[in-house]
Chains A and B, each alone.
Chain A
Amino acid sequence: MDALTLSLASLLLVSLAIGAYSSRSIKDTRDYYSAAGRMPWYMLVGTFMASNVSAGLFLGATNASAQNGYAMWAAYFPTCIGYLLCIGFVAIWIRRLSDRYEIMDLSDLFYHRFRRQGKLIRSVSSIIIVFAYLPVLIAQFIALASIISVLLDVSYAGSLLAISLVVVSYTLLGGMLGVIRADGVQFIILLVGLLVAVPMALSAAGEGEVNVGWQRISRLPEIFEWTTPGLPWFAVLGQLVWLFAIPVQPHLVSRFLAARTERDIVISLPICVGLTLFIYTATIPLGLAGRILEPDLESGAYYYVVMAVNHFPVLVGALALAGIASAALSTCSTVLLIAGQTVSRQVLQRLPMPGWFTPMYGARAGVLMVGVATWLIAAIQPLGIFWLVVLSASLLASGFFVPLFLGMLWRRASAEGAVAAMLTGTLSAVTVYLVNGLFGTHLFISEVFAGLAMSLIIMVVISFKSPASEQEMAVLDYARKLPAALESRPYPG
């Protein structure tokens, strides 16, 4: 067995063992979905970063950096603002509210804040979550299975079955607790993989000298421009979608329910924002070194993978590639848990079930159903889903950003306004995306801006006509720890 097979097999087995071990500490569905109040700041950092960094960063972003230089890297700057909004605001709100209300995901926050239309808004947000996340999950499974099948020279069906079994098993067994613990291990592997890959790539590009490698990549033409023919202005500005998507992505937000205290969330904020800069920056030397080392890269191949296989020592290459697998595994498990949770709570728990079918069975059955469905669809490799993957972040941003932030910052924001904003936001984004795709136009620069603008207008207009109730305002006050909520207002129940 070679080093690569051994490292990938160990990664899968360790993840499985963590899931099985964590299953022993789960008492109820709240534990299962949110690992309520157990995690210190360093576990939050690990799980947040591992969930957010997917295989796409190692593969797609490194290739894009090779072709576009710093333009690609700088275009990621909205990500760090998204982190700031996500951890510095949304995470703190949802964690505070979870002390007083039953909150297990983002749709529960919407339910309590917009109580007058609570059931409707929970259903609408759940549909958006499933519609936005299922294609992402399928795409991640396809990407991971494809890479493993190429690297280990096994069949696609075989590698898909192996990773599906492992990911579904450890997510199903360990729930959020298992996912967060596995994320911790996977994040360390991901980070160490990057840490060794960068100097190794520069050394290879400099024929054994890191300094020479650095000088060579710095002399490449057209790498210090903010736009390039491959990355035009609208593509750079389109990256702003992450500013609005990251704060409302349920798989990122919900893991802060696991925070031990608010202090742990606050400490994790600058660490996560700083780590983002490091991780995204690492793609630049990797991509540019790849461009020097592999000037005739085949279409469809990835610089990162080719360098790890052809130019790194065997053990370092195995570690660097295990980093990709770690990034993909953590994203798969975390998205699977959120999609499974939505299916379980919105579908299974509403159906008439026999007495022995406890909520815990329902929770695990939801994960199993989504996992099996993902495996079956990924086995066919439908390329048509990739347009939905691109649209996923825009859908979440267009549907959730305005209702969430306006709902938490503006006391008057009402339930009717929020429902209308979610629907018009997502529908506008899909419409503009289709029009731009069909006619090659750049209306609104990116579909996300159309969705945001429409949802903002609709929510403000409707909220002025029918403002929020006192009970709903009390939720906002409590989340923001405004004195009114803490002293005089009655418990909103």
Chain B
Amino acid sequence: MLEAFIPWAHIDWQLQLELLIWLGVIFLSMVLCYIRLRQIAASEQDNQKPVN
């Protein structure tokens, strides 16, 4: 019944959880990369500002 609506319902929930963690870590690494790159860019800009 459930499979009519959710195509992957026949897969063990533990298996689904493992896949979710996997995809979540990829997403997390992208977010961390984005945040850190922005921090590095901001600090580089600060360093380039003339000192009064």
Residues of A near any B CB (own CB < 8 A): 70-71, 74-75, 77, 80-81, 83-84, 88, 224-227, 262-263, 266-267, 269-270, 273-274, 277
Determine if B37 and A263 form an interchain contact, defined as CB atoms under 8 angstroms apart: yes
Which chain A residues lie closer than 8 Å to B11 at the CB level?
Answer: 70, 224
Q: Report the contact-size class of chain B (Cβ under 8 Å from the partner).
A: 20 to 34
Closest to B23 in A: A277
Interface residues of chain B: helix, strand, loop or mixed (majority): helix
In the complex, number of A-B residue pairs with CB atoms less than 8 Å apart: 64
Per a CB cutoff under 8 Å, which of A225, A263, A273 touches B26? Answer: A273
- Shortest distance between the CB of A285 and any CB in chain B (Å): 16
Determine if B19 and A74 form an interchain contact, defined as CB atoms under 8 angstroms apart: yes
B42 within 8 A of A: no
Interface residues of chain A: helix, strand, loop or mixed (majority): helix
Per a CB cutoff under 8 Å, which of B15, B23, B29, B33 touches A71? Answer: B15
- Shortest distance between the CB of B25 and any CB in chain A (Å): 5
C-alpha gap A83/B10 in the complex (Å): 30
Which chain B residues lie closer than 8 Å to A83 at the CB level?
Answer: 25, 29
- Shortest distance between the CB of B33 and any CB in chain A (Å): 5
Q: Add 12 more A-B contacts to A74-B22, A270-B33 (CB < 8 A).
A: A75-B18, A77-B18, A81-B21, A83-B29, A84-B32, A88-B32, A226-B15, A226-B18, A227-B14, A267-B37, A269-B33, A274-B29
Which chain A residues lie closer than 8 Å to B30 at the CB level?
Answer: 270
Which chain B residues lie closer than 8 Å to A70 at the CB level?
Answer: 11, 15
Which of B12, B23, B25, B30: most chain A Cβ within 10 A?
B25
- Shortest distance between the CB of B15 and any CB in chain A (Å): 4
C-alpha gap A83/B15 in the complex (Å): 20
Beyond A80-B26, A224-B10, A273-B26, whether A266 also contacts B15 by CB under 8 A is no
C-alpha gap A183/B30 in the complex (Å): 24
Which chain B residues lie closer than 8 Å to A71 at the CB level?
Answer: 15
B40 within 8 A of A: yes
Beyond A269-B29, A270-B29, whether A225 also contacts B36 by CB under 8 A is no
28 contacts between A and B (CB under 8 A): A74-B14, A74-B15, A74-B18, A74-B22, A77-B19, A77-B21, A80-B25, A81-B21, A84-B25, A84-B29, A88-B29, A88-B32, A224-B11, A226-B12, A226-B15, A266-B33, A266-B36, A266-B37, A266-B40, A267-B33, A269-B29, A269-B32, A270-B29, A270-B32, A273-B26, A274-B26, A274-B29, A277-B26
